[in-house]
Amino acid sequence: MSALTPESPVAAKVFPSPNHGERKDGRRPSMLILHYTGMPDEGEALQWLCNPVSQVSAHYFVFGDGRVLQLVPESRRAWHAGLSSWDGETDINSCSIGIEIANPGHPGGLPPFPDVQIESVAALSRDIVTRWRIPATRVLGHSDVAPGRKVDPGELFPWKTLHEAGVGHWVAPTATSDGRFFSRGDQGMPIEALQAMLVMYGYGLKINGAFDEDTEKVVAAFQRHFRPERVDGVADASTIMTLRNLIAARPQAAA
């Protein structure tokens, strides 16, 4: 990005943030992480991401009306993911591009994302994953990579719409129903199998056969992204089937 020209044609303007550094070990972006700002005022959210005091930023910012600004050059390491993990990688900032979507989030009563805003997010994401060849399974929410700390972009974020626009991995969730489930305090082989599946998909979790607090948070993060009808951290049949189907439908990674 030059001082004036954004790298994505979807972005209208450059609005530079000083909050970035060098990508470690010369890494290139191989993930796309979506966030909501979680602030009631989008102008204030933008100013915060550009304030040196905040030590936070993202590469792009999407307003409620669909306008897009570029804050950080794609070649640089923006500070959006924090302490995170995916597929064994813990320096997510060094290998990702981050998009902040203006939305008050859970603290603001979780208002829905306007269609025009989602159209911009989809177009911007498609442009980024195409240019950087980011695999569909590596388009994720902040909650996926930091399930213990973060809940954004939240269960109202329309991952299905994005998938239909060619961005991200998604399968239709299996219908919820009553029946057998696993939850906090359960132990044994089925829990180990569940944890192994979550880790296989990419989530950062210890496989210890105990449905502990970490497991509950990862299950809730999974639900938020892939089975948003009920986000309760309880591994019911629908959650487990959806996870299984998602793994089975994974596009083969390019060699």
In whole angstroms, give the CA distance from residue 131 to residue 222.
Answer: 27
Rounded to the nearest whole angstrom, what is the least distance from the CB of residue 118 to Zn ion in the complex?
A: 17
Active site residue 100: yes
Is residue 225 at the binding interface for Zn ion, with CB under 5 A as the rule? no
State which of residues 89, 152, 155, 216 lies at the interface with Zn ion (CB under 5 A): 152
CB under 5 A: which stretch of 46-54, 146-154, 196-204, 241-249 binds Zn ion? Answer: 146-154
Fill in the DSSP letter of residue 95.
G
Asked if 142 is part of the footprint of Zn ion (rule: CB under 5 A), the reply reads: yes
Q: Which value, to the nearest 10 degrees, does the dihedral of the CA atoms of residues 24, 54, 82, 222 take?
A: -140
Q: Does 216 bind Zn ion (CB under 5 A)?
A: no
Shortest distance, CB of residue 77 to Zn ion, whole angstroms?
16
Q: Which of 35, 59, 77, 225 binds Zn ion (CB under 5 A)?
A: 35
With residues binned 3-state (H G I as helix, E B as strand, rest as coil), the percentages for the chain, rounded to 5, are: 35, 15, 50
Q: Does 59 bind Zn ion (CB under 5 A)?
A: no
Q: Which is nearer to Zn ion, 7 or 152 (CB)?
A: 152
In angstroms, the CA 105 to CA 82 distance is: 18
Q: What stretch of H or E contains 79?
A: none
In this structure, are strands 60-62 and 96-101 parallel, antiparallel, or unpaired? Answer: parallel
Per annotation, catalytic residue among 42, 89, 100, 155: 100
Nearer to Zn ion (CB atom), residue 10 or residue 78: 78
Nearest CA among 14, 12, 11, 19 for reference residue 2: 14
Applying CB under 5 A, which part among 32-40, 101-109, 176-184, 202-210 lies near Zn ion? Answer: 32-40
Tell me which amino acid residue 134 is: I
List active site positions: 100
- Interface with Zn ion (CB under 5 A): 35, 142, 152
